[in-house]
Structure 1
Amino acid sequence: MKSVIATLVGGALLASSLSVAAVEPAKQIELRQAGFSYMAWNMGKLKAQVIDGSVEYNQQQVEAAANTIAAIANSGIGALFGPGTEQNIGDVHTKVDPALFENMQDVAQLAGNMGTAANTLAEKAAAGDQSEIRVAFGEVGKTCKACHDKYRLD
């Protein structure tokens, strides 16, 4: 866990030192989609082990997946919603509703909720109580849905 925290802090410092303007809009879209896809993949691993039981429970895998979700949620990924990323750019397509860019205070609140829920999930995964992990998993899912319902196009 300490190495994950060190990586997050180092990543946050690096991210804060780089200007989003240095990353062209099409690349911002690709990067944020990759981050959210990786988060979804890890949510799927948790779902299979803790919710569905379709895969045998493995404490190390569950903890790693939860830590990854928390790392992405707290990575500053919101910086990848820069100017010009509200629209498709060439072959790079986005599902973001342009309304997101007009409601950044609300988006910041939603992102904060996700970070808090993801941190709780990581804590519960470290403790290993599957019933508590299930509850925390559901809370993370609710934060994803809250943003998707408001700011994701079909």
Structure 2
Amino acid sequence: MNTKHLIVVFCAIVIAGAVYAESRPEEIIKSRQAAYAFLGWNSAKIRAALDPAGTFNKEEVIKSANAIQAIANSGLGALYVKGTDQGTGFHETKLKSEAFDPAYASKLAEVAGNFNKEANTLAVVAATGNKEAIKDQYSKLSATCKGCHDNFRAKNN
């Protein structure tokens, strides 16, 4: 990770810490939703670049992979505060209350750890410019997103 990315990660952690310190559930939910919206936007850019009908632009894929890596390492856990499984940020939260259940703590840690690992690996693989390797690694990253959605995201709201 270069200096520019470290600055982004540092800023994200500072912002997350400030939001957490304020501890208004709707602000924490908004920050969490914003982080995942930005993650989704960068993910969509990679998906479009990997589409056979799309145009592969190595530099754009690298930028998006680095942004995803920065988000993954920004301290997202600070945005999962008990009581933020209900309420509205930009929209109604979809977080299941199981995210705060001690019985699910090891599953949550596993899912989060897998996401970080695959996001970090995606940034390394993207730097090679090897489209097939990027596609394989992006698939692994996407599986970690699905793992979190399946376990900790409500489907009905």
Q: Do the structures match in fold with TM over 0.5?
A: yes
Give the match for residue 109 of structure 2. Answer: 108
Structure 1 range deviating more: 6-15 or 73-82: 6-15
Query: Contact (CA 8 Å) 2:33, 2:90: kept in 1 or not?
Result: no
Structure 1 range deviating more: 41-50 or 21-30: 21-30
Q: Percent identity?
A: 36
Paired residues, number? 153
Q: Deviations over 1:87-145 (max 9, x none)?
A: 12487510111111112332122111100000110000011111110011000000000
After superposition, residues 78-93 of structure 1 pair within 5 angstroms as 78-89=77-88, 92-93=91-92
Structure 1 range deviating more: 72-81 or 116-125: 72-81
Query: Contact (CA 8 Å) 1:4, 1:67: kept in 2 or not?
Result: no
Matched, 1:36 2:36: yes
After superposition, residues 66-77 of structure 1 pair within 5 angstroms as 66-77=65-76
Give the gaps of 5 or more residues in structure 1: none
Residues 59 and 89 from structure 1, CA distance in 2 versus in 1: closer, same or farther, beyond 3 angstroms? closer
Structure 1: how far apart are the matches of 2:65 and 2:89? 34
AA aligned opposite 1:36 = Y
After superposition, residues 119-130 of structure 1 pair within 5 angstroms as 119-130=120-131
Q: Deviations over 1:9-55 (max 9, x none)?
A: 533763686572423111111111111111111111111111x1333
Query: Contact (CA 8 Å) 1:26, 1:92: kept in 2 or not?
Result: no
Structure 2: how far apart are the matches of 1:6 and 1:128? 22
Structure 2: how far apart are the matches of 1:127 and 1:91? 37
Residues 93 and 64 from structure 1, CA distance in 2 versus in 1: closer, same or farther, beyond 3 angstroms? same
AA aligned opposite 1:55 = G
Structure 1: how far apart are the matches of 2:98 and 2:49? 36
Moved over 4 A (4+): 15-19, 89-92
AA aligned opposite 1:124 = V
Query: Contact (CA 8 Å) 1:15, 1:76: kept in 2 or not?
Result: no
**Scaled by the length of structure 1, what TM-score is found?**
0.88
After superposition, residues 111-150 of structure 1 pair within 5 angstroms as 111-150=112-151
Query: Contact (CA 8 Å) 2:30, 2:89: kept in 1 or not?
Result: no
Structure 1: how far apart are the matches of 2:97 and 2:140? 26
Structure 2: how far apart are the matches of 1:90 and 1:5? 27
Structure 1: how far apart are the matches of 2:67 and 2:29? 20
Give the gaps of 5 or more residues in structure 2: none
Structure 1 range deviating more: 88-97 or 106-115: 88-97
